[in-house]
Amino acid sequence: MQNFLNLVISGIVTGAIYSIMASGLVLTYQTSGIFNFAHGAIAFATAYFYYQLHTGQGVPIVPAAILAVVIFAPLMGLALDAVLLRRLASAPIYARIVGTIGLLVALPNLALWLVESVGDDALGAKMPKVSDLQSVGGHAPGIGPDPSHVYHPFGWLGLPKVHLNSDQLAVFAAAAIAAAVLWYVVRRTRAGLEMRAVVDRDSLAALRGINQARSSQIAWILTTVLAGLGGILITPLFQLNSDIFTLVVLGSLAAVAVSGLNSIPIAFVGGLALGVVQNLVAGYKDDILPSFIDKISGLASSVPFVLTLLLLFFVARDRSRAAGSVADTRPPPDHRAGLPAWRRRLPWVLVTIAILGFSLQWLNVASLQADNYEQSQIALGLVFGIIFLSFVVVTGLGGMVSLAQATFVISGGFATGWALNRDWGDIPVIAPHGQLNFGLCALIGALCAAVLGALIALPVRRLGAVALALGTFALAFVASLIPFDYEPIGKGSFGWPFSGTKGVAPSAVNRALPSLDVEGALGWLRRIVDPNSDKWFDFSQPRQQVILMLVVFALITLLLHSLQRSASGRAMLAARSSEVAARTSGISPAKAKFAIFALSAAIAGFGGAMFGVVNGSVSASSAPPLVGLVWLAVAVTFGVRRPGGALLAGLGYSCTQLIFLWLANDVVGNQTFHDLTTAVFFTPILFGLGAINLAKNPDGLLSLIGEQRAERRRKRELATAIAAAEAEAHGGVVPAHEVVHAEPEPSPGEVTAVEEPAAAVPAAGREKFALSLQGIVAGYGDVEVLHGVDVDVASGTIVAMLGANGAGKSTLCAVAAGLLEPTRGKVLVDGRDVTRQVGFRRAREGVLLVPEARGIFPGLSVEENLRVLLRTDDERQRAYERFPILGQRRRQSAGLLSGGEQQMLSLAPALANPPDVFIADEPTLGLAPLAAEEVVRAIRELRERGCAILLVEEKAREVMELADIVAFMELGNLVWMGPREQADSERLAAAYLGGGVTVD
Amino acid sequence: MKRQKLVAVAAVAALVGTFGLASVGTAGAKVASQSSVRGVTSTSIKVAGICDTTGVGAAAGAKARFDAENAKGGTLGRKWDFQSECNNDSDDANQDLTIGKRLVQQDGVFGVVPVQTPTLASAPFFAQQKVPFAGWGISTGFCKNPYAAAFTGCIVPPTNIKTTGTTWGALVDGLFKKQGSSAKGKTAAVITEDDDSGKVGAVVVGAQAKVNGMKLVYAKAALPPPTQTVGDYTPYVQALMTSASGKAPDVIFVTTAFANVLGLSGALLQAGYKGILTNAVAYDPALIKAATGQSVFTQFDLPEDTSNANMVQIVKDMNNGGVPTNKIGQPALAGYFAADMFIAVTKKAGKNLTPDSWAKALSKFTYQIKGVVGPTKYPQSQTQGAPCGTLVTSNGTAYEISVPYACYKNINYTTLKPIKY
């Protein structure tokens, strides 16, 4: 019993670490939709800062900890918000995942580089290095005494053996405080309310005066403080090492998964539980498990990952709906679209020639001839290019993020190694002398990886993108801990030798690699590409490996191209763009994802076989799980849409250090430059930052080259096309309202040659209106919706906006409320120009929009919904008096209210505290007649209280009774506006049926 | 058949076809026709090292030895051209191989010294390219490789060779004897990490305890392997503290990665462990405080042994080479021995120095600094380690030699039968 309690209590303490980490992860995910893979990296950066202050500069514990957690971490949070979030806010989900992975790669290296390379090496400041810690086992002090004190806090309970040290107690106390503060901030403060509102319905938040940018800043500050606090606390328990920190955070994934990425309290408790479970498993597995299972290595350490997988499967499955793998934004246009085929291929032909020429020493110029080492690095780069082709399939084509590619590489390599080392008996051609043909061995490797990929795809294909990424990651760890570590599978630290001689240690001299041993057949080719070579193609030589890898890369690329053009390739793309649409077209998205996963795994597996050729062997350490993250960052930096990106990424990955070494030694020749650029930290920074910056663009770096030129070309073509079309349609005369404003204008006040339409109300004196929309031109992307609309609304009047579906009414509302900035025209509120004012400010200054389909936050309670706009108890009391039913339901979550009650809730703030301008987009849509009446009553009341009301409706009859002024819209133009009495049924009919309206 | 399908089929066919003509035969590693030996001139020999992060201190030790040799005029008329920094492979196999290739193919070194990493993925490449290397035999890469010289011999043999020394157990026996008893009948526990090498390690160290008469009460690969983290040692402490029929064993062998050694040992002491707590890594002047109460097994003599003239000379060489005595840890010493052994083999190879002559010299060779390291006998050390070592204990303010440097014997760790070394 004593032992059991001891395990539970100390498990809770360890679990507190998971709790802190998991809460931070859920918090960011909840407030920004970003799963922050870089949480551990942030923790490391803060802990490293603390280490430099405390150990390096001798700052005492308390001020150092305060500086690190309360000053440094929040500042970093702000910076990250600015650098990362702004960039990724509108990005597809896969790009958000990749962005934080980029941060995970870049941040620790940046911190280390700034201190150790810039500070210590270049500037000569004496700073302690992390490598100095190696001689003491990586141990660095935390905020407690060093070495730690031991306490027996439960001695009075008769548990003398239960002991905790000061570091553990610090963790537990800090976790408890953090939990309390977090709960208070999120549940009890204005900032917390706003954060939750943004999460609940971000489109509405701005309309309710919430500054989303600030909300997200606060969330990131909280997250970084949590991470930083965690970092400082765990340093003495683990080591000051960024990988270790990331592993600790990953250890907490199960707690994140159990919360469904959703609930901070559940994640917190889940973290504690995880600590206990881990301890109990470690403490009792020998007694419980049968001994043959106990003999399997890595079982206990893979518990958190196995738990993560299971929980993701059961918890994350339903909630994630299709969120994941849908590309929820259109991918940016391919800048090469429209170029002739030869022009698209030319650069790659040149690149290939350059690689061959350099590697095979075609030119007799010393600096243009690769030495052996450079050749082998290029060959290795091409192998990585082949491996990165798997990202082109899974991410570029499939829009999914797989973090298990390293696992596929290894399994492919293992299977190939097994096939190579097996005695197949003497089968002519296929297996001469018992040695299976290498090509077939590599195909076995690819097949094996494909089967593994398919097995993984089976359970995870229905998960969303985040869950998929986490699931594949957890899987990569399980694979590396259990099967790959098993001697018969992984062959220990040296792995499977890619040699033809069986039973000889890997260090043996004889290695057999594939060679094209046919002088007569291919000799002519060999003499052309590699005149200096031996009698045959011998792929144990780096220069010939370059040729082999180029050929393999080209063939796989060819395969991919033909796949993309095939029916199944189009089905994959369709499933990616919209699962729902794909399903209705008879395509099974699950099947498409399955195929994508298997194919990408097969390519990675084939890459594993090629890796073996260049490396001489494949072992579990050839591609550890964490390297999969770096690979992804590199692949994304260079672009995942096209094979060309993979090629450059592969070369970049293996040769960047080489290039900087060459630059430093032969070109710049400066020691400082050498120290800074050849530091091990430097290239990861580049790749990490590259991934953050380019995550959004599927063409990565490649896009920077061609995009601007393509943009200019596109604009030119568009302008020509419009001119031609309009000239044809109107015989050269363009009516003002049909002018398409193709180019957004830099300054809206600029005088143009187009004649403005006669405004319904004279322009002079319009500033007296509460709301005045003047010459509004607006749209979404390339599509212009409003072509110059003028509407004025005076205080105490209702302007009803009528028109058919698609007339542009909701767009007009969005412009009026500040959700959409017009490309031309002005928005005045009480005579003030607010055109450039963002939505939440306009809401605070008295413009209230109740959007289509209810202006409520369904996840917040009634009280909290009101609290967002009505800050005083007084105001809320008025709202409850006006709608007593809301008072009865004040603790209920708004999503559970009936439609009518929900609409009351969305109108209540306006009635309690009438805005200057009230805009309602179809407020009676979908309501029962009785509820609709209540709404109409409320709107009348608002008019009486002096609001200027813009009402958008499709149901004209009710509105005609309510409105003072009626306006008709048609295809983005205001076709008639006037007093209600003059709006007869003929006009009404015309407004809906289109055409035939005479403009007065 | 549609065009796309044709293309796809053609591509697959070509993919296989690329190798279809291939007959796998030994292609015969072609050494580029070089007029001279790589890295060797009439006046110099170029060498450089590979270390992992914990081993970077080896470079200073090696440099001290090479400096001392150069000060005496070099080896057979050639000066040692040694890079002063050890290339850090960060325990990453790919990085290790990249460094290995760079040193050989680009920098053109004759040999690689010091080699101090458990992740020596370069070993097969070195063998293939005939690159002599010397260092601490903590990687299997030192075994069955004619170009590998380990001053400790091959101490991590491939799994099919079941040899180990009795050294650690014998040293602990020595400590018991010093305390007035002996290892006979004492209870012993061995804890390692939960991966394949950990499983083997538990058996190997367990055998060392058993063969010295101890009663093995616990031998488990319990701790998560180094790729994972341990936040709480309680379950392991608890299991160890009750492993001898509910009581703590007389001796605990902690056979894990560095961080876990310190973490677990600290937790055991905090839980009130009073027996002999021993490991093989926690010797470093910076660790005196952190390693309080721990007995460390090293495979060579230590600077604390001021009675040995050879050791005194080594410390002097180190000091002259810029390594102050309070910075001499295991890495620096190992770097020194690696350089010393490399020099010794080079001397034996003679004036006509080539990789082959070097390997031939090593093929029958005994390396020793009397009372400090060795005798390490080749060719036996291609598959066996030298069964020698020292036991040193930290009292919180200094390390004290508990059992002086001595050599014991090798055994088969499954049968416990002696093996001739």
**Domain parsing of chain B, residue ranges:** 4-160+306-382, 163-304+388-419
Report pLDDT for B84. Answer: 80
Considering only CA atoms, which of B247, B239, B233, B234 is closest in space to residue B219? B239
Positive or negative, the CA dihedral A122, A137, B198, B411 is positive
Neighbours of A800 (CB within 10 A): 23
Q: Is A961 touching B (CB cutoff 8 A)? A: no
In 3-state terms, what secondary structure has residue B227? coil
- C-alpha span between A270 and A264 (Å, rounded): 10
Name the band, by pLDDT with cuts 50, 70 and 90, for residue A127: confident
Considering only CA atoms, which of B236, B148, B130 is closest in space to residue B191? B236
Report pLDDT for A330. Answer: 53
Residue A739 structure tokens: 């002018």
Q: Could you report the per-residue pLDDT of B47-73, keeping only the tens digit for each?
A: 999 998 888 889 999 999 999 999 999
Name the band, by pLDDT with cuts 50, 70 and 90, for residue A896: confident
Q: Is A430 touching B (CB cutoff 8 A)? A: no
Residues whose CB falls within 8 Å of the CB of residue B71, separated by 6 or more in sequence, listed in order? none
Contact map slice: A 534-573 vs B, CB within 8 A:
534, 536, 538-542, 548, 551-552, 555-556, 558-559, 561-563, 565-566
Residue A398 structure tokens: 């499939």
Please classify residue A524 by burial: count the beta carbons closer than 10 Å to its beta carbon, then call 0-12 exposed, 13-18 middle and 19+ buried.
exposed
Report pLDDT for A333. Answer: 62
Q: B173 pLDDT exceeds 70?
A: yes
- C-alpha span between B229 and A243 (Å, rounded): 10
Asked if the Cβ–Cβ distance from A135 to B284 is below 8 Å, we say yes
Q: A169 pLDDT exceeds 50?
A: yes
In 3-state terms, what secondary structure has residue A427? strand
Number of H helices, E strands in chain A: 41, 16
Q: What is chain A's length? A: 1000
Q: B350 pLDDT exceeds 80?
A: yes
CB B300 within 8 A of CB B373: yes
Phi, psi of B396 (to 5 degrees): 105, -25
Residue A816 structure tokens: 């009026």
Q: What value does the mean pLDDT take over residues A229-245?
A: 86
Residue A598 structure tokens: 């298997």
Q: Which residue has the higher pLDDT, A895 or A744?
A: A895
Name the band, by pLDDT with cuts 50, 70 and 90, for residue B189: very high
Q: B161 CA to chain A: closest CA distance, Å? A: 12
Helix axes A190-200, A166-188, angle to 10 degrees: 70
- C-alpha span between B115 and B369 (Å, rounded): 19
In 3-state terms, what secondary structure has residue A799? strand
The DSSP annotation for A97-135 comes to: HHHHHHHHHHHHHHHHIIIIIIIIIIS------GGGGGG
Positive or negative, the CA dihedral B365, B366, B369, B370 is negative
A142: alpha, beta or left? (left if phi > 0; alpha if psi -120 to 50):
beta
Residues whose CB falls within 8 Å of the CB of residue B95, separated by 6 or more in sequence, listed in order? B89
Q: A380 pLDDT exceeds 90?
A: yes
Q: What value does the mean pLDDT take over residues A144-156?
A: 77
Asked if the Cβ–Cβ distance from B124 to A561 is below 8 Å, we say no
Helix axes A700-730, A682-694, angle to 10 degrees: 20
Q: Could you report the per-residue pLDDT of A875-884, keeping only the tens digit for each?
A: 888 888 888 8
Residue where the block lists tokens 């040149």: A350
In 3-state terms, what secondary structure has residue A954? coil
B386-417 as b/e: b if 16+ CB within 10 A: bbbbbbbbbeeeebebbbbbbbbebbebeeee
> What residues pair up with B51 in beta bridges, in sequence order?
B88, B116
Give the amino acid at B36.
Answer: S
- Residue B164, H or E segment: strand B163-165
Q: B27 pLDDT exceeds 50?
A: no
Our CA angle for A4, B189, B164, nearest 5°, is 145
CB A853 within 8 A of CB A825: no
- Residue A790, H or E segment: strand A783-793
Give the amino acid at A334.
Answer: D
The stretches of A461-541 forming alpha helices (DSSP H) are 465-481, 487-490, 519-529
> What residues pair up with A827 in beta bridges, in sequence order?
A773
Q: Could you report the per-residue pLDDT of A330-344, keeping only the tens digit for each?
A: 556 666 666 777 877
Write down the pTM of the prediction. 0.84
Positive or negative, the CA dihedral A252, A257, A260, A261 is positive
List the single range of A313-322, A859-868, A892-901, B283-292 with lowest mean pLDDT.
Answer: A313-322
Q: A70 pLDDT exceeds 60?
A: yes
A856-892 as b/e: b if 16+ CB within 10 A: bbeebbbbbbbbbbbeeeebbebbbebbeebeebeee
- Residue B266, H or E segment: helix B258-270
List the single range of A343-357, A640-654, A712-726, B124-138 with lowest mean pLDDT.
Answer: A712-726
- C-alpha span between A395 and A404 (Å, rounded): 12
**Chain A CB contacts of B98 below 8 Å:** 377, 380
Domains B4-160+306-382 and B163-304+388-419 share a fold: yes
- C-alpha span between B8 and A569 (Å, rounded): 12
B165-190 as b/e: b if 16+ CB within 10 A: bbbbbbbbbbbbeeeeeebeebbbbb
Name the band, by pLDDT with cuts 50, 70 and 90, for residue A994: low
Give me the total of CB pairs closer than 8 Å, taking one residue from chain A and one from chain B.
293
Long-range Cβ pairs for the range A514-518 (8 Å, 24+): A514/A438, A514/A439, A514/A539, A514/A548, A514/A613, A514/B19, A514/B22, A514/B24, A515/A539, A515/A540, A515/B22, A515/B23, A515/B24, A515/B25, A515/B27, A516/B21, A516/B22, A517/B21, A517/B22, A517/B23, A517/B25, A518/B21
**Which stretches of A505-560 are assigned E, i.e. beta strand?**
515-516, 537-538
CB A31 within 8 A of CB A209: no
Considering only CA atoms, which of A433, A425, A437, A500 is closest in space to residue B20? A437
B245: alpha, beta or left? (left if phi > 0; alpha if psi -120 to 50):
left
For residue A438, give the nearest of B22, B144, B262 by CB distance. B22
CATH class of B163-304+388-419: alpha beta
Residue A666 structure tokens: 């032969």
Give the amino acid at B68.
Answer: A
- C-alpha span between A588 and A601 (Å, rounded): 20
CATH for the stretch B4-160+306-382: 3.40.50.2300
Average pLDDT of chain B? Answer: 87
Residue where the block lists tokens 């760790």: B413
Contact map slice: B 250-309 vs A, CB within 8 A:
258-259, 261-263, 266, 270-271, 281-282, 284, 286-287, 289-290
- C-alpha span between A149 and A856 (Å, rounded): 53
3-state secondary structure A805-839: CCCCHHHHHHHHHCCCCCCEEEEEECCEECCCCCH
Q: What value does the mean pLDDT take over residues A254-265?
A: 84
Report pLDDT for A321. Answer: 36
Q: Could you report the per-residue pLDDT of A475-513, keeping only the tens digit for each?
A: 999 998 888 988 888 888 788 888 644 333 333 333 445
Please classify residue A464 by burial: count the beta carbons closer than 10 Å to its beta carbon, then call 0-12 exposed, 13-18 middle and 19+ buried.
buried
Q: A244 CA to chain B: closest CA distance, Å? A: 7
Report pLDDT for B357. Answer: 94
Q: Is B21 touching A (CB cutoff 8 A)? A: yes
Asked if the Cβ–Cβ distance from A566 to B101 is below 8 Å, we say no
Asked if the Cβ–Cβ distance from B22 to A244 is below 8 Å, we say no
Report pLDDT for B114. Answer: 94
Asked if the Cβ–Cβ distance from B26 to A514 is below 8 Å, we say no
Please classify residue A158 by burial: count the beta carbons closer than 10 Å to its beta carbon, then call 0-12 exposed, 13-18 middle and 19+ buried.
exposed
Q: Which residue has the higher pLDDT, A198 or A704?
A: A198
Report pLDDT for A427. Answer: 75
**Chain A CB contacts of B27 below 8 Å:** 512-513, 515, 536, 538-541
Residue A177 structure tokens: 């405080």
Phi, psi of A826 (to 5 degrees): -130, 150
Q: A695 pLDDT exceeds 80?
A: no
Q: Could you report the per-residue pLDDT of A517-552, keeping only the tens digit for each?
A: 444 556 666 667 776 666 566 677 788 888 889 989
Q: A987 pLDDT exceeds 80?
A: no
Interface confidence, given as ipTM, is: 0.83
